[in-house]
Amino acid sequence: MHTFKELVAGFGDRFTVKHFPETPATLYEPGEYFLSWGGKRIRPVMCLMGSELFAEITPDAYEVATAIELFHNFTLIHDDIMDEAPLRRGMETVHMKYGTNTALLTGDVMMIRAYEYLSRINTLYLSRILQLFNKTAREVCEGQQLDIDFEKMTDVSMDAYIDMISLKTSVLLAASLEMGAIMGGASEGNCRHIYEFGKNLGIAFQIQDDYLDAFGDPEKFGKEVGGDIRQNKKTFLLLHALEVANTDQKKLLQELMTNNPADKVQQVLAIFKTCGVDEWAKKLKDKYLQTALTHLQDIAVLSSRKGPLEELAAFLIQREY
Amino acid sequence: MHTFKELVAGFGDRFTVKHFPETPATLYEPGEYFLSWGGKRIRPVMCLMGSELFAEITPDAYEVATAIELFHNFTLIHDDIMDEAPLRRGMETVHMKYGTNTALLTGDVMMIRAYEYLSRINTLYLSRILQLFNKTAREVCEGQQLDIDFEKMTDVSMDAYIDMISLKTSVLLAASLEMGAIMGGASEGNCRHIYEFGKNLGIAFQIQDDYLDAFGDPEKFGKEVGGDIRQNKKTFLLLHALEVANTDQKKLLQELMTNNPADKVQQVLAIFKTCGVDEWAKKLKDKYLQTALTHLQDIAVLSSRKGPLEELAAFLIQREY
């Protein structure tokens, strides 16, 4: 058994290789550029952890983990094009550095490369892994499209928003764990529980992300707070505020979002607090975290094997606020 | 055994179904829109023919054929974004009708859908088909990137151009046949020959396409001739002309390409004829066609089974000029 940190370090080392042929460099160099930035590699590590919960990690688990990380990077490259993002982690995005057409193709070929890693695994479970991978990949696209749609809508229900967030980010975390579990020989019931653990953990993480962007300690959070508010981004907090605010608060919120006064962030935060949005968000996050942990409990393996997944939950979800 | 025409009609009927879920319609409707235009469906039919050369067509062959057609349509949607093409076959392109971001995602999800069809086939040959599919898909992206690169270069060698054309268009034709052959139980030698048949046929087709754009009978060709010349498009003809023209002809060609006079097409065609580009192109096309047919001959099955592939070659390559 390996700790979460050992797996992060181990996967990071293995992943730091060239993933594409040398030529044509105009196609493959942008892909290597993007992959060279590093990153937490959470999803592939979740695949390894899903596997090690049930059995020793095999070379196949590394193939699938690599496929997952490449797929995730494909989505980032295409998302950056759609968002017209100039920077990611302080680096020039692929489309800014190499042009949109090359970035589009770099994303395409990165997804194909993911399938090349997948294609190498044992045929015993190739179909099953491939089907889960495909379903998840399609759901991630659905989530991205819904996100685009929601940005243009004035009225998005909380349920629809949770569905979107779940598709856009949580299903890939969930599927990463389950693909590992499948390779580890897990039963269908255990596969379902580990999937739900990942999915609910992912939603809790997103709620926390929205919370920290508004109420986080800038020093601990590592970035300026209020970015989502400044951009009128639909978040758990804003949607809930619009649901519970009285007529006057609602009117003020909408005025602030239209007129963008200098003290917009402070004023919106004040409404959020008056409406109890901060306490509500903490409770909602805890609800999803508890659901995740209950599914983890229900996985039928020795509880001593669950340590790394508990570490993962603690790493993703901070309890200090 | 089925004739080429029967297979075209049969596949067309089977393919005319919804390929995506209903929701989110904002993501899936654009994909159905693009697929509803019809088309010759050459590539999936080649998969069926590759299979039927060796055995009866199985449901798996239809799954792979469908995957190939979806992959091809994915490349068209993304190519249209890159070319900023307003129309294809007289219809509004996906990015014009639905916006670039949705077109990007529609292409992504169409490629994923292709892999969903692939994932259903017998595990007996799933790995092998998947590996050939992936390799080919990556090569098609390489071809597209090289095409973008070459448009910006002043000096492209004929060999490099043929490699690019081969990657961009021929390898998918070749792989379609070979994937069918694999499912039909073909030997490795037969797989190699059917792949080379398709690849060389594809190159012959491209040379013919360039030839007809310059020298074709507008009534038979179905579109105005000289489009490539007007756009200074790098073609087999232009590259060869630049190789064999004398200093004066070369200078005139480059002037025509820079100044775009009203009679540019006529003047360029005159240089092409003086340089013997038309005769050269016919010979080159014949050379590739002959190579293709030799590989067809070398496939070790009863020659009576080869009729449909001969029909295909006759359909793609006209001998009337």
| Higher-confidence position of A165 and A38 | A165
Average pLDDT, integer, range A195-200? 98
Q: DSSP code of B92?
A: E
**How far away is chain A from the Cα of B82, in angstroms, using its nearest Cα?**
5
Pairing assessment for the beta strands A87-88 and A91-92 based on DSSP bridges: antiparallel
**How far away is chain A from the Cα of B84, in angstroms, using its nearest Cα?**
10
- Model pLDDT, residue B218: 77
Average pLDDT, integer, range A133-156? 95
Please give the CATH number for the structural domain made up of B1-186. Answer: 1.10.600.10
Domain ranges, ordered by start, for chain A: 1-185, 187-321
Q: How far is residue A11 from each of residues A48, A110, B194, measured CA to CA in Å? A: 9, 18, 41
B74, closest residue in chain A (CA to CA): A108
Residue pair B319/B212 in contact by the 8 Å Cβ criterion = no
pLDDT digits (tens, 9 = 90+) for A34-76: 999 988 899 999 999 999 999 999 999 999 999 999 999 999 9
Q: What ipTM did this prediction achieve?
A: 0.95
Virtual CA dihedral for A64, A65, A70, A71, nearest 10 degrees? Answer: 70
Residue pair B27/B41 in contact by the 8 Å Cβ criterion = no
Residue pair A95/A80 in contact by the 8 Å Cβ criterion = yes
Average pLDDT, integer, range A140-159? 94
**How far away is chain B from the Cα of A105, in angstroms, using its nearest Cα?**
6
Looking at the DSSP assignment, which residues form a beta bridge with residue B91? B88
Residue A225: pLDDT band (50, 70, 90) is: confident
- Could you say which of A107, A115, A145 has the minimum Cβ distance to residue B115? A115
Looking at the DSSP assignment, which residues form a beta bridge with residue A87? A92
CA B148/CA B223 separation, integer angstroms = 24
Q: Tell whether the model's pLDDT for residue A224 goes beyond 80.
A: no
pLDDT digits (tens, 9 = 90+) for A249-275: 999 999 999 999 999 999 999 999 999
**How far away is chain B from the Cα of A64, in angstroms, using its nearest Cα?**
14
Pick the CATH number of A1-185 from 1.10.600.10, 3.40.50.720, 2.60.120.380, 2.40.110.10: 1.10.600.10
Task: Provide CB contacts within 8 A for A177, sequence distance 6+.
Answer: A46, A47, A49, A50, A194, A195, A197, A198
A32 touches chain B (CB under 8 A): no
Count CA atoms within 13 Å of residue B155 on its CB side: 0
Residues in chain B where the model's pLDDT stays below 70: 221-223, 319-321
- Model pLDDT, residue A71: 98
Residue numbers in B near A118 (CB within 8 A): 130
Residue A318: pLDDT band (50, 70, 90) is: confident
- Model pLDDT, residue A221: 67
Give start and end residues of each alpha helix (H) in A58-99.
59-83, 94-98
Q: Tell whether the model's pLDDT for residue A319 goes beyond 80.
A: no
CA B212/CA B85 separation, integer angstroms = 22
A79 touches chain B (CB under 8 A): no
- Could you say which of B24, B142, B144 has the minimum Cβ distance to residue A142? B24
pLDDT digits (tens, 9 = 90+) for B213-266: 999 887 776 667 899 999 999 999 999 999 999 999 999 999 999 999 999 999
Which of B77, B106, B109, B124 has the most A C-beta neighbours within 10 Å, making it the best mutation to test the interface with A? B109
Residue A83: pLDDT band (50, 70, 90) is: very high
Size of interface A-B (CB pairs under 8 A): 116
Helix axes B236-244, B188-215, angle to 10 degrees: 70
Please give the CATH number for the structural domain made up of A187-321. Answer: 1.10.600.10
**Does the beta-carbon distance from B115 to A130 stay under 8 Å?**
yes
Percentage of chain A lying above the pLDDT 70 cut: 98
Looking at the DSSP assignment, which residues form a beta bridge with residue B92? B87
Q: Tell whether the model's pLDDT for residue A320 goes beyond 70.
A: no
- Model pLDDT, residue A217: 84
- Model pLDDT, residue A22: 97
A3 touches chain B (CB under 8 A): no
- Model pLDDT, residue B43: 98
Stretch among A194-198, A211-215, A217-221, B32-36 having the lowest mean pLDDT: A217-221
Residue numbers in A near B107 (CB within 8 A): 108
So what's the architecture of B187-301 in CATH?
Answer: Orthogonal Bundle (1.10)
- Model pLDDT, residue B221: 67
Q: How far is residue B183 from each of residues A111, B49, B134, measured CA to CA in Å? A: 25, 11, 17
**Does the beta-carbon distance from B138 to A116 stay under 8 Å?**
yes
- Reduced to 3 states, what is the DSSP secondary structure of residue A88? strand
**How far away is chain A from the Cα of B305, in angstroms, using its nearest Cα?**
32
Q: Tell whether the model's pLDDT for residue A222 goes beyond 70.
A: no
Residue numbers in B near A78 (CB within 8 A): 104-105, 108
Residue pair B114/A112 in contact by the 8 Å Cβ criterion = no
Residue numbers in A near B109 (CB within 8 A): 138, 141-142
**How far away is chain B from the Cα of A280, in angstroms, using its nearest Cα?**
29
Interface of A with B in 123-182 (CB under 8 A): 123, 126-127, 130-131, 134-135, 137-138, 141-142, 144-146, 148-149
**Does the beta-carbon distance from A134 to B111 stay under 8 Å?**
no
**Does the beta-carbon distance from B104 to A82 stay under 8 Å?**
yes
pTM score, whole prediction: 0.96
